[in-house]
């Protein structure tokens, strides 16, 4: 049973426009959420995170929104750049002191020049 | 500062053979992790080491053993490889608790025939 779902396997966006990547979760105990970016043949790299006590966190072109009532979070990239083309993973953690991250299957973003 | 390094980058094994995947980090992190990623799937935690001298099972530990050799190194051993263990293996490290960012290595691609 997938606890973290990224229902869109892929997304194409024109350069300069907004990219919106979505993630849904089922476990209401999750208290911390992260987005990772992964290029082919490389390990994932941390992008941005949000605690369950917040509903928005912004870092440059990247903003993550959290809607706890809907168990939904989204990553906004504005403006999108060709270098943003990668697979984006949503991940979640629950429980104080827990070490386990639960990952979604990823969304492949293609930014078209 | 190399971050997290993994060896080998690629390995082919026959069913029943054994091997050890090596991981080292130079960031003085306390916690280390082993994940596997299968096609179309998110990363799944195999084992983790919260601190030097401790190891714990993650989501998919069966068929694997780990050793936290020292603070820098965390190895993953397959005693008797099976085709189901064909995957890409990622090692990661973090300062301490899971809310600290995890830094990933480049991965080891393993093919079991």
In chain B, residues 62-101 whose CB comes closer than 8 Å to chain A = 90, 92, 97-99, 101
- Partners of B40 on chain A (C-beta within 8 Å) are 9, 105
Q: State the Cα–Cα distance between residues A95 and B98, nearest whole angstrom.
A: 10
Least confident stretch, A2-16, A93-107, B29-43 = A93-107
For the segment B43-69, the average pLDDT, to the nearest whole number, is: 93
Q: State the Cα–Cα distance between residues A74 and A61, nearest whole angstrom.
A: 14
Residue B92 has pLDDT above 90, yes or no: yes
- Partners of A46 on chain B (C-beta within 8 Å) are 101-103
Spatial CA neighbour of A106 closest among A10, A1, A33: A10
- Among the partner-chain residues A32, A42, A104, the one whose CB lies closest to the CB of B42 is A104
Q: What's the pLDDT tens digit per position in A79-111? A: 999 999 999 999 998 765 677 889 999 999 999
Predicted local distance difference test score (pLDDT) of residue B93: 93
Q: What's the pLDDT tens digit per position in A42-59? A: 999 999 999 999 999 999
A78/chain B closest Cα distance in angstroms: 23
Predicted local distance difference test score (pLDDT) of residue A101: 87
A87: β partners: A38, A108
Q: State the Cα–Cα distance between residues B39 and B22, nearest whole angstrom.
A: 22
Quickly tell me which residue has 């530990």 as its tokens: B61
Per-residue confidence at B97, pLDDT binned at 50, 70, 90?
low
A31/chain B closest Cα distance in angstroms: 10
Read out DSSP for B25-61? E-S--SEEEEEEE-TT--EEEEEEESSTT--EE-S--
Q: How far apart are the first and last CA of chain B?
A: 36
Q: Is B41 within 8 Å of chain A by CB?
A: yes
Predicted local distance difference test score (pLDDT) of residue B99: 60
Tokens of A58: 């912004």
Per-residue confidence at B91, pLDDT binned at 50, 70, 90?
very high
Mean pLDDT of chain A: 93
Q: State the Cα–Cα distance between residues B58 and B82, nearest whole angstrom.
A: 19
């Amino acid at each position: 049973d997938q606890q973290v779902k990224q229902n869109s396997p892929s997304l194409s966006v024109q350069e300069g426009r907004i990219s919106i990547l979505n993630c849904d979760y089922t476990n209401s105990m999750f208290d911390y959420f992260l987005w990772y970016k992964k290029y082919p043949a490389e390990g994932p790299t941390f992008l941005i995170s949000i605690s369950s006590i917040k509903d928005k966190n912004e870092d440059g072109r990247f903003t993550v929104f959290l809607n706890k009532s809907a168990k939904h979070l989204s990553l906004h990239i504005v403006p999108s750049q060709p270098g943003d083309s990668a697979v984006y993973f949503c991940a979640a953690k629950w429980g104080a002191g827990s070490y386990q991250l639960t990952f979604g299957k990823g969304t492949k973003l293609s930014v078209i020049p | 500062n190399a971050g997290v390094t993994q060896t080998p980058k690629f390995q082919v094994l026959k069913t029943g053979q054994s091997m050890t995947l090596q991981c080292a980090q130079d960031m003085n992190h306390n916690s280390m992790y082993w994940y596997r990623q299968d096609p179309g799937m998110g990363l799944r935690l195999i084992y983790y080491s919260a601190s030097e001298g401790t190891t714990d099972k993650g989501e998919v530990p069966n068929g694997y053993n780990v050793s936290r050799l020292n603070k820098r190194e965390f190895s993953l051993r397959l005693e008797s490889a099976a085709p189901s263990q064909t995957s890409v293996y990622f090692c990661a490290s973090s300062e301490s608790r899971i809310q600290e960012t995890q830094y990933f290595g480049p991965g080891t691609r393993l093919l079991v025939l």
